[in-house]
Structure 1
Amino acid sequence: MGDAEAFTREFLPLFRPVPPTRPGVCRICHSGPNNARDTGGPHATCASCKRTTQHLYGHTKEVVPISLTTTNEQLYDVLIREKDPRGAGGRRERADFLAATVSHFYQQHARCLQERAGGPFTLVATIPSNNLHAPAKPLHLMWKVVEKVGALGRLWQPLLLEADTTYAPVLADRRSHRNAFQIPRPDRVDKARVLLVDDLFVSGAHVQSAASALIETGAAAVVALVIARLINPASADPYSAGIWKQAREQLFCFDRCCICDRHDHSRRTSNR
Protein backbone atom coordinates (compact mmCIF):
# COMPACT_ATOMS: atom_id res chain seq x y z
CA MET A 1 0.00 0.00 0.00
CA GLY A 2 1.27 3.50 -0.78
CA ASP A 3 0.77 6.42 1.60
CA ALA A 4 -2.01 4.98 3.74
CA GLU A 5 -2.01 7.98 6.07
CA ALA A 6 -2.65 10.41 3.21
CA PHE A 7 -5.28 8.12 1.69
CA THR A 8 -7.28 7.79 4.91
CA ARG A 9 -7.01 11.48 5.87
CA GLU A 10 -9.96 12.49 3.70
CA PHE A 11 -12.10 9.67 5.15
CA LEU A 12 -11.65 10.40 8.86
CA PRO A 13 -15.34 11.47 9.21
CA LEU A 14 -16.36 7.89 8.31
CA PHE A 15 -14.74 6.44 11.42
CA ARG A 16 -15.93 6.47 15.04
CA PRO A 17 -13.59 5.87 18.01
CA VAL A 18 -13.86 2.54 19.82
CA PRO A 19 -14.02 2.71 23.64
CA PRO A 20 -11.53 0.83 25.82
CA THR A 21 -12.66 -1.93 28.14
CA ARG A 22 -14.34 -0.40 31.18
CA PRO A 23 -17.54 -0.90 33.18
CA GLY A 24 -20.35 -0.95 30.63
CA VAL A 25 -18.10 -1.92 27.70
CA CYS A 26 -17.73 -5.58 26.67
CA ARG A 27 -14.17 -6.76 27.29
CA ILE A 28 -14.18 -8.74 24.03
CA CYS A 29 -16.04 -6.74 21.36
CA HIS A 30 -16.25 -3.24 22.92
CA SER A 31 -20.02 -2.91 22.65
CA GLY A 32 -22.40 -2.36 25.54
CA PRO A 33 -23.07 -5.42 27.72
CA ASN A 34 -26.47 -6.14 29.21
CA ASN A 35 -27.15 -5.07 32.75
CA ALA A 36 -27.13 -7.89 35.33
CA ARG A 37 -30.52 -7.79 37.02
CA ASP A 38 -29.31 -9.61 40.09
CA THR A 39 -26.47 -7.22 40.87
CA GLY A 40 -27.40 -4.08 39.00
CA GLY A 41 -23.93 -4.06 37.44
CA PRO A 42 -22.63 -4.84 33.95
CA HIS A 43 -21.47 -8.25 32.80
CA ALA A 44 -17.82 -8.51 31.78
CA THR A 45 -18.96 -9.57 28.31
CA CYS A 46 -22.06 -8.73 26.32
CA ALA A 47 -24.81 -11.28 25.74
CA SER A 48 -23.73 -11.73 22.12
CA CYS A 49 -20.13 -12.58 22.97
CA LYS A 50 -21.28 -14.90 25.74
CA ARG A 51 -23.50 -16.74 23.26
CA THR A 52 -20.89 -17.03 20.50
CA THR A 53 -18.05 -18.24 22.73
CA GLN A 54 -19.61 -20.61 25.25
CA HIS A 55 -19.79 -23.80 23.16
CA LEU A 56 -16.47 -23.55 21.35
CA TYR A 57 -13.20 -25.41 21.94
CA GLY A 58 -11.50 -22.05 22.35
CA HIS A 59 -12.07 -18.45 21.37
CA THR A 60 -10.18 -15.20 21.11
CA LYS A 61 -10.55 -12.76 23.97
CA GLU A 62 -8.83 -10.11 21.86
CA VAL A 63 -11.06 -8.43 19.28
CA VAL A 64 -9.73 -5.04 18.17
CA PRO A 65 -12.14 -2.96 16.06
CA ILE A 66 -10.71 0.02 14.22
CA SER A 67 -14.05 1.85 14.27
CA LEU A 68 -17.60 1.61 15.50
CA THR A 69 -20.45 1.84 13.01
CA THR A 70 -24.22 1.60 12.75
CA THR A 71 -26.35 0.53 9.80
CA ASN A 72 -26.92 4.20 8.94
CA GLU A 73 -23.25 5.05 8.48
CA GLN A 74 -21.30 5.29 5.22
CA LEU A 75 -18.72 2.88 6.62
CA TYR A 76 -21.44 0.21 6.88
CA ASP A 77 -22.40 0.88 3.26
CA VAL A 78 -18.81 0.29 2.22
CA LEU A 79 -18.44 -2.92 4.21
CA ILE A 80 -21.82 -4.57 3.68
CA ARG A 81 -23.51 -2.87 0.74
CA GLU A 82 -20.20 -2.94 -1.15
CA LYS A 83 -20.32 0.72 -2.11
CA ASP A 84 -17.21 2.67 -3.01
CA PRO A 85 -16.56 5.38 -0.42
CA ARG A 86 -16.81 9.07 -1.20
CA GLY A 87 -14.29 11.41 0.34
CA ALA A 88 -12.97 14.91 -0.24
CA GLY A 89 -11.27 13.70 -3.41
CA GLY A 90 -14.37 11.99 -4.79
CA ARG A 91 -15.16 8.31 -5.16
CA ARG A 92 -12.41 5.80 -4.33
CA GLU A 93 -12.07 2.08 -4.92
CA ARG A 94 -13.53 0.09 -2.04
CA ALA A 95 -10.62 -2.38 -1.79
CA ASP A 96 -8.07 0.46 -1.76
CA PHE A 97 -9.96 2.25 0.99
CA LEU A 98 -10.13 -0.88 3.16
CA ALA A 99 -6.45 -1.65 2.55
CA ALA A 100 -5.43 1.89 3.47
CA THR A 101 -7.53 1.68 6.63
CA VAL A 102 -5.93 -1.59 7.76
CA SER A 103 -2.46 -0.44 6.73
CA HIS A 104 -2.63 2.90 8.55
CA PHE A 105 -4.01 1.31 11.70
CA TYR A 106 -1.41 -1.45 11.69
CA GLN A 107 1.40 1.06 11.18
CA GLN A 108 0.26 2.87 14.30
CA HIS A 109 -0.71 -0.09 16.48
CA ALA A 110 1.31 -3.15 15.49
CA ARG A 111 2.87 -3.14 18.94
CA CYS A 112 -0.54 -2.97 20.64
CA LEU A 113 -1.76 -5.97 18.67
CA GLN A 114 1.46 -7.94 19.16
CA GLU A 115 1.30 -7.40 22.91
CA ARG A 116 -2.10 -9.09 22.95
CA ALA A 117 -0.64 -12.02 21.00
CA GLY A 118 2.43 -12.39 23.21
CA GLY A 119 4.86 -11.53 20.43
CA PRO A 120 5.15 -10.73 16.71
CA PHE A 121 2.62 -12.39 14.45
CA THR A 122 3.83 -15.35 12.45
CA LEU A 123 0.71 -15.75 10.30
CA VAL A 124 -2.17 -13.62 9.02
CA ALA A 125 -5.52 -15.20 8.20
CA THR A 126 -8.80 -14.01 6.72
CA ILE A 127 -12.21 -15.63 7.02
CA PRO A 128 -13.59 -17.28 3.88
CA SER A 129 -16.97 -16.33 2.53
CA ASN A 130 -19.84 -18.07 4.27
CA ASN A 131 -22.63 -16.61 2.16
CA LEU A 132 -25.84 -18.61 1.90
CA HIS A 133 -26.53 -17.01 -1.48
CA ALA A 134 -23.04 -17.53 -2.91
CA PRO A 135 -21.71 -20.76 -1.38
CA ALA A 136 -19.23 -21.31 -4.22
CA LYS A 137 -17.37 -18.08 -3.47
CA PRO A 138 -14.36 -19.45 -1.59
CA LEU A 139 -12.50 -16.32 -0.53
CA HIS A 140 -13.68 -13.11 1.04
CA LEU A 141 -12.57 -9.72 -0.28
CA MET A 142 -10.42 -9.25 2.83
CA TRP A 143 -7.66 -11.50 1.51
CA LYS A 144 -7.22 -9.05 -1.38
CA VAL A 145 -7.22 -6.20 1.11
CA VAL A 146 -4.56 -7.84 3.28
CA GLU A 147 -2.48 -8.61 0.19
CA LYS A 148 -2.20 -4.86 -0.44
CA VAL A 149 -0.77 -4.27 3.05
CA GLY A 150 2.94 -5.02 2.84
CA ALA A 151 3.49 -5.87 6.50
CA LEU A 152 0.57 -8.31 6.50
CA GLY A 153 0.48 -9.62 2.95
CA ARG A 154 3.77 -11.48 3.31
CA LEU A 155 2.36 -13.35 6.34
CA TRP A 156 -1.04 -14.17 4.84
CA GLN A 157 -1.88 -17.77 4.06
CA PRO A 158 -5.23 -19.41 3.16
CA LEU A 159 -5.41 -21.10 6.55
CA LEU A 160 -9.19 -21.39 6.76
CA LEU A 161 -11.72 -23.03 4.48
CA GLU A 162 -15.46 -23.25 4.91
CA ALA A 163 -16.18 -26.82 6.04
CA ASP A 164 -19.30 -27.11 3.87
CA THR A 165 -22.61 -25.33 3.49
CA THR A 166 -24.03 -27.14 6.53
CA TYR A 167 -22.87 -24.44 8.90
CA ALA A 168 -23.72 -21.39 6.79
CA PRO A 169 -27.26 -21.17 8.27
CA VAL A 170 -25.79 -21.52 11.76
CA LEU A 171 -23.46 -18.56 11.27
CA ALA A 172 -26.19 -16.60 9.49
CA ASP A 173 -28.28 -17.07 12.64
CA ARG A 174 -25.43 -15.44 14.58
CA ARG A 175 -24.40 -18.66 16.29
CA SER A 176 -20.88 -20.04 16.26
CA HIS A 177 -19.77 -23.62 15.66
CA ARG A 178 -16.40 -25.26 16.20
CA ASN A 179 -16.71 -27.18 12.91
CA ALA A 180 -17.73 -24.26 10.70
CA PHE A 181 -14.21 -23.89 9.28
CA GLN A 182 -11.49 -26.36 8.36
CA ILE A 183 -7.71 -26.01 8.50
CA PRO A 184 -6.31 -27.76 5.38
CA ARG A 185 -2.68 -27.50 6.57
CA PRO A 186 -2.62 -27.97 10.38
CA ASP A 187 1.18 -28.01 10.40
CA ARG A 188 1.23 -24.33 9.40
CA VAL A 189 -0.89 -23.32 12.38
CA ASP A 190 0.83 -25.21 15.19
CA LYS A 191 2.26 -22.76 17.75
CA ALA A 192 1.56 -19.81 15.42
CA ARG A 193 0.56 -16.34 16.58
CA VAL A 194 -2.23 -15.47 14.18
CA LEU A 195 -3.69 -12.09 13.28
CA LEU A 196 -7.22 -12.78 12.05
CA VAL A 197 -8.43 -9.90 9.84
CA ASP A 198 -12.10 -9.34 9.04
CA ASP A 199 -14.34 -6.52 7.88
CA LEU A 200 -17.38 -6.27 10.18
CA PHE A 201 -17.96 -7.74 13.65
CA VAL A 202 -21.70 -8.18 14.24
CA SER A 203 -22.30 -11.05 16.66
CA GLY A 204 -18.84 -12.59 16.57
CA ALA A 205 -20.08 -15.91 15.19
CA HIS A 206 -17.73 -15.90 12.18
CA VAL A 207 -14.71 -14.52 14.03
CA GLN A 208 -15.05 -16.83 17.02
CA SER A 209 -15.76 -19.93 14.92
CA ALA A 210 -12.63 -19.20 12.89
CA ALA A 211 -10.59 -18.47 16.01
CA SER A 212 -11.79 -21.71 17.58
CA ALA A 213 -10.64 -23.71 14.55
CA LEU A 214 -7.21 -22.08 14.69
CA ILE A 215 -6.82 -22.59 18.44
CA GLU A 216 -8.03 -26.19 18.31
CA THR A 217 -5.46 -26.87 15.57
CA GLY A 218 -2.65 -25.57 17.76
CA ALA A 219 -2.36 -21.79 17.32
CA ALA A 220 -0.60 -20.23 20.29
CA ALA A 221 -2.62 -17.01 20.04
CA VAL A 222 -5.32 -15.47 17.86
CA VAL A 223 -5.99 -11.74 17.81
CA ALA A 224 -8.86 -10.48 15.66
CA LEU A 225 -8.46 -7.14 13.89
CA VAL A 226 -11.78 -5.97 12.45
CA ILE A 227 -12.43 -2.80 10.51
CA ALA A 228 -15.68 -2.06 12.33
CA ARG A 229 -17.81 -3.25 15.21
CA LEU A 230 -21.53 -2.85 14.48
CA ILE A 231 -23.38 -1.26 17.37
CA ASN A 232 -27.09 -0.74 17.89
CA PRO A 233 -27.82 2.50 19.76
CA ALA A 234 -31.48 1.43 20.11
CA SER A 235 -30.51 -1.72 22.00
CA ALA A 236 -32.36 -2.44 25.23
CA ASP A 237 -29.10 -2.48 27.18
CA PRO A 238 -28.33 0.74 29.06
CA TYR A 239 -24.88 1.24 27.58
CA SER A 240 -24.90 1.08 23.77
CA ALA A 241 -26.68 4.39 23.26
CA GLY A 242 -24.16 6.14 25.49
CA ILE A 243 -21.22 4.49 23.78
CA TRP A 244 -22.47 5.59 20.38
CA LYS A 245 -23.26 9.13 21.57
CA GLN A 246 -19.73 9.47 22.93
CA ALA A 247 -18.25 8.03 19.74
CA ARG A 248 -20.10 10.59 17.61
CA GLU A 249 -19.02 13.46 19.83
CA GLN A 250 -15.32 12.55 19.73
CA LEU A 251 -13.00 13.02 16.78
CA PHE A 252 -11.53 9.83 15.37
CA CYS A 253 -7.75 9.61 15.25
CA PHE A 254 -5.61 6.73 14.00
CA ASP A 255 -3.13 7.51 16.76
CA ARG A 256 -5.49 5.99 19.32
CA CYS A 257 -7.01 2.53 19.59
CA CYS A 258 -9.11 0.66 22.15
CA ILE A 259 -5.95 -0.99 23.50
CA CYS A 260 -4.03 2.29 23.92
CA ASP A 261 -7.09 3.80 25.56
CA ARG A 262 -7.47 0.70 27.73
CA HIS A 263 -4.03 1.33 29.22
CA ASP A 264 -4.71 5.05 29.68
CA HIS A 265 -8.10 4.39 31.27
CA SER A 266 -6.54 1.94 33.74
CA ARG A 267 -3.87 4.47 34.69
CA ARG A 268 -6.43 7.26 35.11
CA THR A 269 -8.64 5.03 37.27
CA SER A 270 -5.76 3.90 39.49
CA ASN A 271 -4.63 7.50 40.04
CA ARG A 272 -7.99 8.70 41.35
Structure 2
Amino acid sequence: MFRIFTDRHGKPVCNSLKKTVQRVGALVFPDMCLNCRALLPVSKEPDFSEPAFFCAECRARGLPAFEPPYCRICGHMFDTGDTHVCETCLTDPPVVHRVRAALAYQGLVPEIVPLFKYHARLSLTPFFDSLMFNALDRYFRDTEIHWIVPVPLHPKKLRQRGFNQSLLLVRRLYDTYERHYGARPGWQVDASVLKRVRYTHSQTGLDIAARKNNLKNAFQVPDPARVKNAGILLVDDVYTTGATSNEAARALLAGGAVRVDVLVLARA
Protein backbone atom coordinates (compact mmCIF):
# COMPACT_ATOMS: atom_id res chain seq x y z
CA MET A 1 0.00 0.00 0.00
CA PHE A 2 1.04 3.58 -0.64
CA ARG A 3 0.67 6.18 2.06
CA ILE A 4 0.04 9.83 1.32
CA PHE A 5 1.89 11.92 3.87
CA THR A 6 0.26 15.19 4.87
CA ASP A 7 1.42 18.24 6.75
CA ARG A 8 -0.28 19.63 9.87
CA HIS A 9 -2.91 21.31 7.67
CA GLY A 10 -3.83 18.05 6.00
CA LYS A 11 -2.28 18.99 2.65
CA PRO A 12 -0.11 16.46 0.79
CA VAL A 13 3.57 16.93 1.63
CA CYS A 14 4.55 16.47 -2.02
CA ASN A 15 2.50 19.55 -3.00
CA SER A 16 4.05 21.63 -0.24
CA LEU A 17 7.52 20.46 -1.27
CA LYS A 18 6.80 21.32 -4.90
CA LYS A 19 5.75 24.85 -3.97
CA THR A 20 8.84 25.27 -1.83
CA VAL A 21 11.12 24.17 -4.65
CA GLN A 22 9.32 26.56 -7.02
CA ARG A 23 9.75 29.48 -4.62
CA VAL A 24 13.44 28.74 -4.11
CA GLY A 25 13.90 28.39 -7.85
CA ALA A 26 12.24 31.75 -8.44
CA LEU A 27 14.68 33.37 -6.01
CA VAL A 28 17.81 31.66 -7.34
CA PHE A 29 16.82 31.94 -11.00
CA PRO A 30 14.51 34.97 -11.08
CA ASP A 31 12.21 35.49 -14.02
CA MET A 32 13.14 38.20 -16.48
CA CYS A 33 10.91 40.15 -18.81
CA LEU A 34 11.08 38.45 -22.21
CA ASN A 35 11.15 41.83 -23.92
CA CYS A 36 13.47 44.16 -21.98
CA ARG A 37 15.12 41.49 -19.75
CA ALA A 38 14.32 43.43 -16.56
CA LEU A 39 14.05 41.27 -13.45
CA LEU A 40 10.48 40.49 -12.46
CA PRO A 41 9.52 40.82 -8.79
CA VAL A 42 9.03 37.66 -6.78
CA SER A 43 5.90 37.75 -4.64
CA LYS A 44 5.59 35.97 -1.30
CA GLU A 45 2.88 33.75 -2.75
CA PRO A 46 3.75 33.52 -6.44
CA ASP A 47 1.15 32.24 -8.87
CA PHE A 48 2.81 29.45 -10.83
CA SER A 49 -0.31 28.61 -12.81
CA GLU A 50 0.73 31.17 -15.45
CA PRO A 51 4.34 32.16 -16.14
CA ALA A 52 5.26 35.82 -15.94
CA PHE A 53 6.35 37.06 -19.34
CA PHE A 54 6.67 40.83 -19.17
CA CYS A 55 7.42 43.54 -16.67
CA ALA A 56 4.80 46.12 -15.74
CA GLU A 57 6.40 48.75 -17.98
CA CYS A 58 6.26 46.52 -21.05
CA ARG A 59 2.74 45.30 -20.24
CA ALA A 60 1.63 48.93 -20.06
CA ARG A 61 2.37 49.24 -23.78
CA GLY A 62 -0.48 46.85 -24.37
CA LEU A 63 -1.37 43.75 -26.36
CA PRO A 64 -4.29 45.18 -28.32
CA ALA A 65 -6.90 42.74 -29.56
CA PHE A 66 -8.00 42.58 -33.17
CA GLU A 67 -11.29 44.44 -33.05
CA PRO A 68 -13.69 46.13 -35.48
CA PRO A 69 -13.92 48.28 -37.45
CA TYR A 70 -11.91 46.40 -40.07
CA CYS A 71 -12.13 45.34 -43.69
CA ARG A 72 -14.56 42.46 -44.08
CA ILE A 73 -12.14 40.69 -46.43
CA CYS A 74 -8.49 41.39 -45.57
CA GLY A 75 -9.00 42.44 -41.95
CA HIS A 76 -7.22 45.79 -42.36
CA MET A 77 -8.22 47.78 -39.29
CA PHE A 78 -9.75 51.24 -39.54
CA ASP A 79 -9.28 54.01 -36.99
CA THR A 80 -12.94 55.05 -37.17
CA GLY A 81 -16.18 54.20 -38.90
CA ASP A 82 -17.87 50.89 -39.53
CA THR A 83 -16.65 47.53 -40.77
CA HIS A 84 -16.68 47.53 -44.57
CA VAL A 85 -14.61 46.40 -47.56
CA CYS A 86 -11.47 48.48 -47.99
CA GLU A 87 -10.49 50.19 -51.23
CA THR A 88 -7.62 47.77 -51.87
CA CYS A 89 -9.89 44.72 -51.70
CA LEU A 90 -12.44 46.42 -53.96
CA THR A 91 -9.88 47.21 -56.65
CA ASP A 92 -7.62 44.16 -56.26
CA PRO A 93 -9.47 41.41 -54.36
CA PRO A 94 -7.22 38.91 -52.56
CA VAL A 95 -7.34 35.19 -53.26
CA VAL A 96 -8.25 34.41 -49.65
CA HIS A 97 -11.89 34.68 -48.62
CA ARG A 98 -11.33 36.59 -45.38
CA VAL A 99 -8.63 37.29 -42.81
CA ARG A 100 -9.08 37.43 -39.04
CA ALA A 101 -6.57 37.76 -36.21
CA ALA A 102 -6.11 37.40 -32.47
CA LEU A 103 -4.10 40.62 -31.99
CA ALA A 104 -3.49 43.92 -33.69
CA TYR A 105 0.15 44.48 -34.65
CA GLN A 106 0.45 47.41 -32.25
CA GLY A 107 1.72 48.18 -28.77
CA LEU A 108 4.04 45.44 -27.55
CA VAL A 109 3.00 42.98 -30.28
CA PRO A 110 5.62 44.04 -32.91
CA GLU A 111 8.32 43.13 -30.39
CA ILE A 112 7.00 39.91 -28.88
CA VAL A 113 6.12 38.21 -32.17
CA PRO A 114 9.76 38.41 -33.41
CA LEU A 115 10.88 37.14 -29.99
CA PHE A 116 8.76 34.07 -30.57
CA LYS A 117 9.56 33.67 -34.26
CA TYR A 118 13.24 34.57 -34.54
CA HIS A 119 14.58 34.17 -31.01
CA ALA A 120 12.82 30.95 -30.00
CA ARG A 121 11.03 32.35 -26.95
CA LEU A 122 8.84 29.26 -27.04
CA SER A 123 7.58 29.83 -23.50
CA LEU A 124 5.14 32.20 -25.21
CA THR A 125 3.49 29.30 -27.02
CA PRO A 126 0.83 28.44 -24.37
CA PHE A 127 -0.15 32.12 -24.16
CA PHE A 128 -0.48 32.35 -27.94
CA ASP A 129 -2.35 29.02 -27.98
CA SER A 130 -5.18 30.48 -25.94
CA LEU A 131 -5.34 33.61 -28.08
CA MET A 132 -5.53 31.57 -31.28
CA PHE A 133 -8.28 29.29 -29.97
CA ASN A 134 -10.36 32.25 -28.81
CA ALA A 135 -9.99 33.90 -32.22
CA LEU A 136 -10.85 30.65 -34.00
CA ASP A 137 -13.94 30.22 -31.86
CA ARG A 138 -14.98 33.83 -32.30
CA TYR A 139 -14.57 34.24 -36.04
CA PHE A 140 -14.84 30.75 -37.54
CA ARG A 141 -17.21 28.86 -35.26
CA ASP A 142 -19.90 28.69 -37.95
CA THR A 143 -17.56 28.33 -40.94
CA GLU A 144 -17.34 24.96 -42.66
CA ILE A 145 -13.70 23.99 -42.25
CA HIS A 146 -12.21 20.64 -43.16
CA TRP A 147 -8.50 21.33 -42.67
CA ILE A 148 -6.57 23.79 -40.50
CA VAL A 149 -3.25 24.21 -42.27
CA PRO A 150 -0.19 26.06 -40.91
CA VAL A 151 1.76 27.98 -43.55
CA PRO A 152 4.76 25.70 -44.16
CA LEU A 153 8.45 26.60 -44.15
CA HIS A 154 10.87 25.38 -46.77
CA PRO A 155 12.92 22.45 -45.37
CA LYS A 156 16.08 24.57 -45.53
CA LYS A 157 14.55 27.37 -43.48
CA LEU A 158 13.01 24.86 -41.09
CA ARG A 159 16.48 23.41 -40.43
CA GLN A 160 17.86 26.91 -39.86
CA ARG A 161 15.12 28.00 -37.47
CA GLY A 162 14.48 24.65 -35.83
CA PHE A 163 10.70 24.99 -35.72
CA ASN A 164 7.75 26.28 -37.70
CA GLN A 165 6.09 29.03 -35.68
CA SER A 166 2.82 28.61 -37.58
CA LEU A 167 2.67 24.93 -36.64
CA LEU A 168 3.23 25.80 -32.97
CA LEU A 169 0.22 28.13 -33.16
CA VAL A 170 -2.14 25.35 -34.27
CA ARG A 171 -0.87 22.08 -32.86
CA ARG A 172 -3.02 22.27 -29.70
CA LEU A 173 -6.20 23.63 -31.29
CA TYR A 174 -7.82 20.20 -31.69
CA ASP A 175 -7.24 19.19 -28.06
CA THR A 176 -8.32 22.61 -26.78
CA TYR A 177 -11.55 22.40 -28.78
CA GLU A 178 -12.24 18.90 -27.44
CA ARG A 179 -11.69 20.01 -23.84
CA HIS A 180 -13.75 23.17 -24.29
CA TYR A 181 -16.77 21.63 -26.02
CA GLY A 182 -16.54 18.01 -24.88
CA ALA A 183 -16.75 16.92 -28.51
CA ARG A 184 -14.48 16.51 -31.48
CA PRO A 185 -14.34 19.31 -34.04
CA GLY A 186 -15.34 18.73 -37.63
CA TRP A 187 -11.86 19.70 -38.83
CA GLN A 188 -8.35 18.33 -38.54
CA VAL A 189 -5.03 20.13 -38.12
CA ASP A 190 -2.60 18.85 -40.73
CA ALA A 191 0.76 20.33 -41.71
CA SER A 192 1.19 17.93 -44.64
CA VAL A 193 -1.69 19.32 -46.70
CA LEU A 194 0.53 22.08 -48.10
CA LYS A 195 4.25 22.05 -48.87
CA ARG A 196 6.75 24.82 -49.52
CA VAL A 197 8.69 23.61 -52.53
CA ARG A 198 10.75 26.68 -53.38
CA TYR A 199 13.17 28.41 -51.02
CA THR A 200 12.45 32.12 -50.77
CA HIS A 201 14.33 34.98 -49.18
CA SER A 202 12.89 37.04 -46.34
CA GLN A 203 9.99 39.30 -47.27
CA THR A 204 11.29 42.06 -44.98
CA GLY A 205 12.03 45.25 -46.88
CA LEU A 206 10.29 44.16 -50.09
CA ASP A 207 7.41 46.07 -51.64
CA ILE A 208 4.14 44.33 -52.55
CA ALA A 209 5.16 43.52 -56.12
CA ALA A 210 8.53 42.13 -55.01
CA ARG A 211 6.86 40.05 -52.28
CA LYS A 212 4.48 38.48 -54.77
CA ASN A 213 7.31 37.71 -57.20
CA ASN A 214 9.44 36.30 -54.39
CA LEU A 215 6.72 33.79 -53.48
CA LYS A 216 5.56 32.81 -56.95
CA ASN A 217 5.07 29.03 -57.20
CA ALA A 218 6.53 28.57 -53.72
CA PHE A 219 3.73 26.27 -52.52
CA GLN A 220 2.35 22.96 -53.68
CA VAL A 221 -0.45 20.60 -52.64
CA PRO A 222 1.08 17.06 -52.58
CA ASP A 223 -2.27 15.26 -52.70
CA PRO A 224 -5.02 17.34 -54.36
CA ALA A 225 -7.62 14.67 -53.55
CA ARG A 226 -7.38 15.64 -49.87
CA VAL A 227 -8.37 19.26 -50.48
CA LYS A 228 -10.93 18.74 -53.24
CA ASN A 229 -14.15 20.58 -52.33
CA ALA A 230 -12.68 21.37 -48.90
CA GLY A 231 -12.82 24.49 -46.78
CA ILE A 232 -9.34 25.42 -45.56
CA LEU A 233 -8.29 27.63 -42.66
CA LEU A 234 -4.74 28.77 -43.29
CA VAL A 235 -2.78 29.85 -40.18
CA ASP A 236 0.25 32.13 -40.00
CA ASP A 237 1.90 34.39 -37.45
CA VAL A 238 1.43 37.81 -39.08
CA TYR A 239 -0.58 39.11 -42.04
CA THR A 240 0.98 42.24 -43.55
CA THR A 241 0.52 42.58 -47.31
CA GLY A 242 -0.97 39.11 -47.60
CA ALA A 243 1.54 37.94 -50.20
CA THR A 244 2.38 34.70 -48.37
CA SER A 245 -1.19 33.77 -47.46
CA ASN A 246 -2.53 34.56 -50.93
CA GLU A 247 0.14 32.54 -52.72
CA ALA A 248 -0.49 29.61 -50.38
CA ALA A 249 -4.25 29.97 -50.94
CA ARG A 250 -3.70 30.06 -54.68
CA ALA A 251 -2.01 26.64 -54.51
CA LEU A 252 -4.80 25.24 -52.33
CA LEU A 253 -7.54 26.52 -54.62
CA ALA A 254 -5.70 25.18 -57.66
CA GLY A 255 -5.60 21.82 -55.86
CA GLY A 256 -9.39 21.79 -55.55
CA ALA A 257 -10.23 23.64 -52.32
CA VAL A 258 -13.44 25.65 -52.52
CA ARG A 259 -12.53 28.31 -49.98
CA VAL A 260 -9.48 29.49 -48.03
CA ASP A 261 -9.82 31.66 -44.93
CA VAL A 262 -6.90 32.96 -42.91
CA LEU A 263 -6.34 33.18 -39.16
CA VAL A 264 -3.19 34.91 -37.91
CA LEU A 265 -1.77 35.74 -34.53
CA ALA A 266 -1.47 39.42 -35.47
CA ARG A 267 -2.81 41.66 -38.26
CA ALA A 268 -0.43 44.44 -39.24
Answer yes or no: same fold by TM over 0.5. Answer: yes
Q: Which moved more, 1:140-149 or 1:202-211?
A: 140-149
Which of 181, 185, 193 is equivalent to 1:159?
Answer: 193
1:31 matches 2:77: yes
C-alpha deviations, 1:155-202, integer Å up to 9, x for none? 11121211212x446797342355121111211111111111111111
Partner of 1:141 in structure 2?
A: 165
CA–CA distance in structure 2, aligned partners of residues 66 and 199 of structure 1 = 10
- Judged with a 3 Å threshold, the aligned counterparts in structure 2 of structure 1 residues 135 and 95 are, in CA distance, closer, same or farther, namely closer
User: How far is the alpha carbon of 1:153 from its aligned partner?
Assistant: 11
Partner of 1:102 in structure 2?
A: 132
Query: Kindly, what percent of the aligned residue pairs are identical?
Result: 21
Structure 1: gaps of 5 or more residues: 1-5, 34-42, 54-58, 85-90, 231-272
User: How far is the alpha carbon of 1:51 from its aligned partner?
Assistant: 6.5
SS in 1 for 2:69: coil
Q: Give the alignment's TM-score, normalised by structure 1.
A: 0.57
Partner of 2:68 in structure 1?
A: 19
- Judged with a 3 Å threshold, the aligned counterparts in structure 2 of structure 1 residues 123 and 50 are, in CA distance, closer, same or farther, namely same
Q: Please, what is the CA RMSD of the aligned residues?
A: 3.9
Structure 2: gaps of 5 or more residues: 1-48, 54-58, 178-184
- Judged with a 3 Å threshold, the aligned counterparts in structure 2 of structure 1 residues 26 and 105 are, in CA distance, closer, same or farther, namely closer
Is the 1:28–1:49 Cα contact (8 Å) retained in structure 2?
A: no
User: How far is the alpha carbon of 1:32 from its aligned partner?
Assistant: 5.0
Is the 1:190–1:220 Cα contact (8 Å) retained in structure 2?
A: yes
Bigger Rg, structure 1 or 2: 2
User: How far is the alpha carbon of 1:60 from its aligned partner?
Assistant: 0.9
User: How far is the alpha carbon of 1:139 from its aligned partner?
Assistant: 5.8
User: How far is the alpha carbon of 1:29 from its aligned partner?
Assistant: 2.6
Q: Give the alignment's TM-score, normalised by structure 2.
A: 0.58
1:227 matches 2:265: yes
User: How far is the alpha carbon of 1:50 from its aligned partner?
Assistant: 6.1
Partner of 2:102 in structure 1?
A: 66
